[in-house]
Amino acid sequence: MSSAVRKKVGVLALQGDFEAHGKALARAGAEPVEVRSEGDLQDLDGLVIPGGESSTMLKLLEIENLMEPLRDFGRRRPIFGTCAGAILLAAEVLNPSQASLGLMDIGVERNAYGRQLESRIAQLRAEGQDQDLEAVFIRAPIIRRVGEDVKVLARYQGDPVLVEQGRHMVATFHPELTTDSRVHRMFLEKVATSG
């Protein structure tokens, strides 16, 4: 991507490893912008909601009055959620149930792979990729249900871990924790075509 056509992609920077996402987006050819307020969403081509702790993130979103602005942004522009970000994008959240942006027709169970000690690195076969993706799972959620308009791009132990619906995409793993930029590039393709 030449600098003349670099897309501006925000990274929600309230909690979680937003810096790693910023670096991954830059490697993939985008111009990352940290988002902490509604004003920061202006002029963005897309947004990444990073991992972290989804209930803490929800509280911070409410304090900053960002829930409705994020929902509105998602009606117009692509959002990519990883781990806690996947939980926030889901229409249905279990274990326990909690509020969400409801932008994707998926049901997600929080911390379904177990505690931090259960974290793992796996190799995934993803649609359209000729080499496996390295996937870092940290207290990851499991996508328990996908709506009929949701496309599964990769699975781990039979469960969907990388899915897309329309302009949005979620991963239950952390692609920003590897040097492989392919997942972020997949999102940037959505950003480029959603103009």
Return the active site residues: 83, 174, 176
Residues 28, 188: contact at Cβ < 8 Å?
Answer: yes
- What is the token pair recorded at 185? 């590039």
